[in-house]
Amino acid sequence: MSNDANHGPLWVIAVKSIVFTLITGVATGLLALTIRNSSSGDLHTYTAIFTDVTSLNRGDDVRAAGVKVGTVEDIQITDKRLARVKFTIRDGVPAASDSVLQIKFRNLVGQRYIALQQPDPSGSDATPVSASARVEPGHVFGVEQTRPALDLTVLFNGFRPLMRLLDPEDVNNLSEQIIAVFQGEDATVEGLMQSTASLTTALAEKDQVIGELITGLSSVLTDINSRSGQLDTTLVTMQQLVTGLSEDRQAIGASLEGMGALTTRVSTLVGETRPALRRSIRHLGVLAQTLDTNSDDVENFLRTTPIKLDRIARTASYGSWLNFYLCSMDGRIPMAEGYMGDVGVLPVAGRCR
């Protein structure tokens, strides 16, 4: 009786055991689902073809905008060079016909997940999908809609030549030399820091000027953008000019050679005639002085010369000969009976008046 009093009725113990077992089972199931990255609710199955699925395993997440929406179910080789990945997505998460599936790093350990990215011109990874763009379960996303993960091995192999050139001992020596340079140079370093601070302060004080400069540059760029057509035409014309010069480079080279030869000859000619030119210039000064001294005679010559030339021109106005007219003649003819007086011709013609 004492034993029954201490432990209670058997049915109470049985009920407690059943409740404990149920709670433990549910907790274990939830823990198992969490460990297996399982999702609840209706699931739709899709397939994607990747060129590389390194480190992607069954049970890895399928995420949209960073939220888990599905799980990788199976990975197989297809066409001897591609990977066929079958995954599930929860009901209610739309998949578009132009969605992009990219394998990304889940953590630093190397685990991966598939990111479901919806097309968006603004650059967002997930956007609402219209009903007309959704795909039915079982749809296969081709290679053109998938992106493999970044291959860190290839990335690090690119740095391998640099790593080979770095000798740990050389790095230590360089560090010691840098420390040795700065040791005992506190004043120099302090002055450098003060100068840097002064420069930074000066730039901060000129923020208005810098802002005006940026505004001016913005206006210039806006003007250039508004004249993009003219700028394109100018660039095309310059390209055509450069192309034409390139095609005529031989002729241009020959012309430059000819110009060089001409310059040499002109230089030789000037060198040979320089003494004569010097004398001519000196005598030109003497001539100018003489003309200035006799300026009255020169002025009279310039004034009367046109009149004389006009009269001379009239004598040859009828052809390539000179016309002379006898307008008057006077003389004395002795007679047998004595002197009869003057005999002559009077200028009665109109041209002699």
**pLDDT at residue 127 greater than cutoff 60:** no
d(CA 48, CA 141): 5
Lowest mean pLDDT among 114-118, 148-152, 315-319: 315-319
Query: What pLDDT was estimated at residue 346?
Result: 59
d(CA 238, CA 225): 19
Cβ neighbours of residue 137 closer than 8 Å, sequence gap 6 or more: 44, 45, 46
- Percent of the chain beyond pLDDT 70? 69
pLDDT, tens digit, for every residue of 209-258?
888 888 888 888 888 888 888 888 888 889 898 988 888 888 888 888 88
Residue 26, in any domain of the structure: no
Residue 179, in any domain of the structure: no
Residue 144, in any domain of the structure: yes
**pLDDT at residue 122 greater than cutoff 60:** no
d(CA 47, CA 38): 18
**pLDDT at residue 318 greater than cutoff 70:** no
d(CA 184, CA 133): 71
Query: What pLDDT was estimated at residue 341?
Result: 55
Mean pLDDT across the chain, nearest whole number? 78
Asked whether the beta carbons of 351 and 327 are under 8 A apart, the reply is yes
Residue 103: Cβ-neighbour burial (10 angstroms; 0-12, 13-18, 19+): buried
Q: How confident is the model at residue 125 (pLDDT cuts 50, 70, 90)?
A: very low
What is the span of the domain harbouring residue 97? 43-119+133-152
**pLDDT at residue 121 greater than cutoff 70:** no
Residue 274, in any domain of the structure: no
pLDDT, tens digit, for every residue of 49-93?
999 888 889 988 899 888 888 899 999 998 888 999 999 998 888
Query: What pLDDT was estimated at residue 184?
Result: 57
Residue 101, in any domain of the structure: yes
Residue 107, in any domain of the structure: yes
**pLDDT at residue 330 greater than cutoff 90:** no
For residue 156, the Cα-to-chain-centroid distance in whole angstroms is 31
pTM exceeding the 0.85 threshold for the entire prediction:
no
**Which three-class secondary structure string do you get for 63-106?**
EECCEEEEEEEEEEEECCCEEEEEEEEECCCCCECCCEEEEEEC
Number of domains in the chain: 1
How is residue 262 written in tokens?
């001409």
Element (H, E) at 170: helix 168-182
**Average pLDDT over every residue of 150-169:** 68
Residue 148, in any domain of the structure: yes
**Average pLDDT over every residue of 280-304:** 87
Residue 306, in any domain of the structure: no
Highest mean pLDDT among 116-120, 131-135, 194-198, 242-246: 242-246
d(CA 168, CA 173): 9
